[in-house]
Amino acid sequence: MTNPYGYQAQPGPGYPGQQGYPAAQRRPNGATAIIAAVLGLVLAGTAGYLPLGELFIDLPSGMDIGDLPGGVLTYYGLLTGCAVFSLIGALITFFRATAGAILLLIGALLGAVSVFLEPVLWDRPYGPYFEAVLEFSQTEGILRFLIMVLAPLTLIFAVLPATFRYLSHKPQAQPIYGPPQGYPPQQQGW
């Protein structure tokens, strides 16, 4: 093979398809990370509405947050933590940072723990609690059901290896193509 000047071409690392050239890495599929982030946004909105609506909007007049039992405050704290971690994790995941998946994981765990431990924290039996949630007659019951579904789904998509592969992928610098940097030595004989 000759170069454009008639001299023997030297195989080198600068040209694709020749020895010494590193194969380009394929970019991992980001579907699981994007699904986890979208689910995290919905989970954040759902989990954030419950404490906001029940503590600040529906709280009877003359009653203070400090008057509530410790289990109830713990429940609302878990929901608030779920909303904050899920929101920040979803936003960071959209910017392709690995910390976003970890924050989504923490937010989903807080959401699942808060909803499934609510009867224990409020000193209520599980049977009537799940009956009330699955009736879909009140907005709070629907929101609790959504958290029961969204938290495990977000957790699953955030913990998948494909999510971490996509978020931790750093593209390699591509070689610059251009004219040869030097000419081979010319032969003196005719």
What are the structure tokens assigned to 81, written together?
Answer: 């933590």
Rounded to the nearest 10°, the torsion over CA 94, 99, 105, 107 is -80
Alpha-carbon span 68 to 93, nearest angstrom: 36
Q: Is 21 a residue whose pLDDT tops 80?
A: no
Q: Which residue has the higher pLDDT, 132 or 183?
A: 132
Number of Cα atoms under 13 Å in the Cβ half of residue 86: 33
- The residue among 184 and 126 whose pLDDT is bigger is 126
Query: Which tops the pLDDT comparison, 61 or 91?
Result: 91
Cα separation of 80 and 88, whole Å?
Answer: 12
Task: Write the pLDDT tens digit of every residue in 69-87.
Answer: 888 888 889 999 999 999 9
Q: What does the alpha-carbon distance between residue 32 and residue 43 come to, in Å, rounded to a whole number? A: 16
Chain mean pLDDT for the chain: 82
Measured between alpha carbons, how far is 103 from 101 in angstroms, rounded to an integer? 5
Paired with 8 in beta bridges are: 2
Query: Which DSSP symbol is given to 66?
Result: G
* pLDDT-derived band at 67, boundaries 50, 70, 90: confident
- Mean pLDDT lowest among 51-60, 87-96, 132-141, 180-189: 180-189
pTM, whole model, 2 decimals?
A: 0.73
Kindly state the average pLDDT of the residues 172-176: 67
Per-residue pLDDT, 30: 87
85/88 Cα distance (integer angstroms): 5
Q: Say how far apart CA 157 and CA 39 lie, in whole Å.
A: 9
Q: What is the pLDDT of residues 85-136, one digit of tens each?
A: 999 999 999 999 999 999 999 999 999 999 889 888 888 888 888 888 888 8
pLDDT higher at 19 or 26: 26
Weakest mean pLDDT among 19-28, 65-74, 97-106, 164-173: 19-28
Residue 20 pLDDT more than 60? no
pLDDT given for residue 86 in this prediction = 96
Q: At what angle do helices 161-168 and 31-51 cross, to 10 degrees?
A: 100
Please give the Cα distance from 190 to 188 (Å, whole number): 7
pLDDT at 170: 80
When pLDDT is cut at 50, 70 and 90, the band that residue 36 belongs to is very high
